[in-house]
Structure 1
Amino acid sequence: MSAYLLPDSLAELFKTAASTDAVPGGGCVACVSANLGVALLLKAIRITLKSKPGLAILQEAEERLLGYAGQCLDYAQQDAEVFFQFLAAYKLPESTGAEQTLRLKSIEQAAVSATQLGIVISAMGNDILQLCCEIKPDIKLSIVADIVAGAHLVFSMIAVAIENANANLSDIQSVYPDLKASVLKAQTQSQALLAALV
């Protein structure tokens, strides 16, 4: 369990994000931003459904996006927790050979856990971008800008997750080639989806 809990207000999140505290960092804040991006996607769907109430693709998308909105906030909290794992690992004693070995292993495990979380976050973000591509043709023209804005906020979450994953893997990527390949695949997919959308 981390010593950080995601605040209930954006004003409090802004205050802590702008502080010198270790968390919330970029990953956490980007997940909250993606949550707001999903809110814009829901707005565009709901406004469109007022004039096209029976459009099944939008009704199904609305249901899925509600789930993604909650996941974004869950991942924001998890991002803070995995960062605390890093901090705890780096603070381990290293006076003896055994302590040094344990410390290095703990740092490596924290890096792997953080990278795996980044891959999961990226996969969810790519699912949202794919959904944006599918629904955009049915959205009212006057509100399509909210689809684009929401998609960019989600893309930012993916970009930060990938950046963090690459940093985590910088010293251990040769030991975990599958993780590196998954990160690269998520990055390529997100770029292609955003390009198709805008």
Structure 2
Amino acid sequence: MLVNKTVCGFVEELASNSAAPGGGSTAALAGSLGAALSIMVCNFTEGKPKFSSVQDEITQIKQKGLALKNDLMDYVDGDTNAFDEVMKAYKLPKETDAEKSLRSEKIQEATKQATLLPLKVAESCVEVLKLSLKVLTIGNPNTACDAAVSGVTAYAGFQGAIFNVKINLSSIKDETFLQKVRDKILVLQDEADKSNQLILARAKEVIG
């Protein structure tokens, strides 16, 4: 599993001439790092008398952050596995009409799954962005930089995931599926952009 590698091991594999892991797994990793930083801010805020008024909210943010971190770590391997399934589909035999038909069907199925996986990554990154903004606003100000990095890292993960969604769309023939995905992208992009701008503005106020 990719997530069980050392940082050096993952980076070296990423830099190799293998097609996977690639941008999709990297986007998921970025999102998980963003979530981890928000959790870190919570840990430096939780239980501190100075922040007693926000303890309940901080606890809720931490719980949600942990769930998002774990999901995104799963997606690191999930994205690579989805890509591998697409490659397997393309390698299916295509000598007869029946084989060609089955191969085409399997390619479409695998490509849809390889599209939905990074879409899940994008959705999770949007949620991490919301947590980043919250901890940057109510968390321990000594960790403001960590909260800001949480936000920009999650936004990078979001953008990377969306790129990975879009690259697959031209290969999918199901127009209903395509329209649903495109509509979802528009909603997520709007949410992500708004959160990112608020994070940058808040970081400028707090950090300079």
Q: Same fold (TM over 0.5)?
A: yes
- Distance change in 2, residues 1:82/1:165 (3 Å): same
CA distance in 2, matches of 1:125, 1:161: 9
Match in the other structure for 2:51: 52
> 1:60: Cα distance to partner?
1.4
Q: Percent identity?
A: 24
Counterparts of residues 55-94 of structure 1 (less than 5 Å):
55-94=55-94
Counterparts of residues 108-187 of structure 1 (less than 5 Å):
108-172=108-172, 175=175, 176=177, 177-187=179-189
Match in the other structure for 2:102: 102
CA distance in 1, matches of 2:182, 2:85: 21
> 1:194: Cα distance to partner?
0.9
> 1:136: Cα distance to partner?
2.3
Q: 1:27-64 deviations in whole A, cap 9, x for unaligned?
A: 11221222222222122222233342562111211121
- Distance change in 2, residues 1:5/1:132 (3 Å): closer
SS of the equivalent of 1:6 reads helix
Q: Which moved more, 1:120-129 or 1:29-38?
A: 29-38
CA distance in 2, matches of 1:7, 1:85: 21
CA distance in 1, matches of 2:193, 2:18: 32
Q: TM-score, normalised by structure 2?
A: 0.85
SS of the equivalent of 1:187 reads helix
- Specify every segment of 5 or more residues in structure 1 that has no aligned partner in the other structure, as ranges: none
CA distance in 2, matches of 1:173, 1:196: 38
Q: 1:4-35 deviations in whole A, cap 9, x for unaligned?
A: 64333111111111111122111112212222
- 1:40 and 2:29 matched: no
Amino acid at match of 1:171: S
Match in the other structure for 2:21: 24
> 1:142: Cα distance to partner?
3.0
- The one of 194, 197, 202 equivalent to 1:195 is 197
Amino acid at match of 2:196: L
Cα RMSD after superposing both structures: 1.9
